[in-house]
Structure 1
Amino acid sequence: MGSRSLHWVNTPVLVEALMRYEQNRLPRSMRLWVEQLLELSPQDSHQLLSHDPD
């Protein structure tokens, strides 16, 4: 098994990507990046950000 390297990610960029991921509005390459970065399974439905009830 190969070693994993640590990546620096700009917080606003990651938050925007997570919001779009939840809304299914990311291009495939970005969706795969988010899934790999957070070790998500694409088959699972995830609510990654907490949402305030209206």
Structure 2
Amino acid sequence: MTQIELFLMRRQKQIRLSDIAKEIGCSIALLSKYEHNKVAMEASKVKMYKDYILNN
């Protein structure tokens, strides 16, 4: 699943970045920058990000 597909799925499910940030232990800004391809995240955080979106 691509970053764009995950972003669209998150928006469709109405999951807020703040909810994901609390769950995986990072900032809202980092997630926003990741979704817009401005920064890279650690592989472990990317996995937690994907899991959160797919399971909620």
> TM-score, length-normalised on structure 2?
0.36
Q: Greater CA radius of gyration, 1 or 2? A: 1
Between the two structures, name the one with larger relative contact order (CA 8 Å, sep ≥ 6): 2
Query: When you count helix as a share of all residues, which structure comes out higher?
Result: 2
